[in-house]
Amino acid sequence: MEKPAQRPKTPDAAVLQTVERALAELRRGATIVLHDWSGQGALVQAAEQASAEGLADLAALTGTEAMLLLTARRAQALGMPEAKGLIASGGVLALAVEDREAERIRALADPTATQVAVGRSRRVVTAPAGLDVAAVELAKLARLLPAALLAPLPGTPVQSPRAWADARDLMAVTAANVAEYRFAAARNLTSVAEAAVPLADAEDARIVAFRPDDGGTEHLAIIIGDPKPEDPLLLRLHSECFTGDLLSSLRCDCGEQLRGAIQAIAADGAGILLYLAQEGRGIGLVNKLRAYTLQDLGADTLDANEQLGFDADERVYLPAAQMLHRLGFRRVRLLTNNPQKVAALSRFGIAIEERVAHSFPSNGHNEAYLATKAERFGHLF
């Protein structure tokens, strides 16, 4: 029987496939090879998956001890003065791992874990340039804590890090592909399904699902009424919030923003709500729960994200712009109080003709959260 024809792989598709396989390996606690085109290579594991067996494997394969890579934000939260000069550049701090104590490594990566005395036996070392940042980015993309274990390959630069990996049945990925991953996924959104879905507050609604080429979670366009591409589109960008949207959590105002936006668009006659798969300002649900733990200990939402090692906001709005382009809209009236959304869409070729205010009163549980958004994120209320 003749095999069905397959769509030729684009350069973006090759990037996505390679990185996605590496992410799956990291999430299950396995080791991957990260390399550049100069022959520089290293073994990488996710720090939050650190184990005595994994550390022993790194040492056996490379003949050296691993180093722990932390974002400058996380290192600063740990009180390390070396982090100060790395904050602005988004740099990474590398610490020697000399004792193979997996629990201490996990605690250094996770502020919600048992507290550790970071000043003892913690020596700053030099990590392979470029590979250090890429290793931490891989952990972020895998929706893990932004920290990684890295052990340089023996005798690097080597002639072929990929051949070295193949000989040991390890997944290999390049730093360049890691850097390109987020944008490659956003550039290749494909509409995969569409259906009418009458909503309680907008009966004339339909949902279009857009899937990224990496096979990741779909972004959704909730189209209300019959918006015309020639008119400025009333638009809401809404990042998914499992706790707020589905469970009606009182810790945030996300559920009210979602339902309020649908009501506002329906009252206006037509518009679109883009429901973006970017939980917790892009850090993922598990890390958002960790951030909640830190907030319960006194941190605000911005400090909690940074204590985990993330930037204050990790969201990328290129997928939203791509969805609008594919739906035929270039001019919008944006329902938001977040100036970053206005700036982001403008960078991606969407004309913001009006910012429409979109806020809700506090509920007795989220006063501090709303105050932080106004005072530290610059939200307009």
Active site residues: 313, 315
In the chain, where does DSSP find H-type helix? 11-27, 52-62, 72-77, 102-109, 131-141, 161-167, 175-187, 254-268, 279-282, 285-296, 301-307, 318-327, 339-347, 367-375
Sign of CA dihedral 279, 282, 286, 289: negative
Contact 104, 113 (CB under 8 A): no
Among 215, 209, 243, which Cα is nearest to 369's?
243
How many residues are present in the chain?
381
Give CA angle at 243 (348, 341), nearest 5°: 15
Interatomic CA distance for residues 37 and 347, integer angstroms: 31
Q: How many CB atoms lie within 10 A of CB 204?
A: 14
Interatomic CA distance for residues 68 and 136, integer angstroms: 10
What is the DSSP annotation of 157-207? S-S-HHHHHHHTT-EEEEHHHHHHHHHHHHHT-EEEEEEE--BTTBSSEEE
Interatomic CA distance for residues 357 and 380, integer angstroms: 8
Sheet containing 32-35, strands listed edge to edge, beginning at the edge strand earlier in sequence: 124-125, 92-96, 67-71, 147-152, 41-46, 32-35, 171-174
Assigned token pair, 218 = 């779909």
Q: Is 348 helix (H, G, I), strand (E, B) or coil?
A: coil
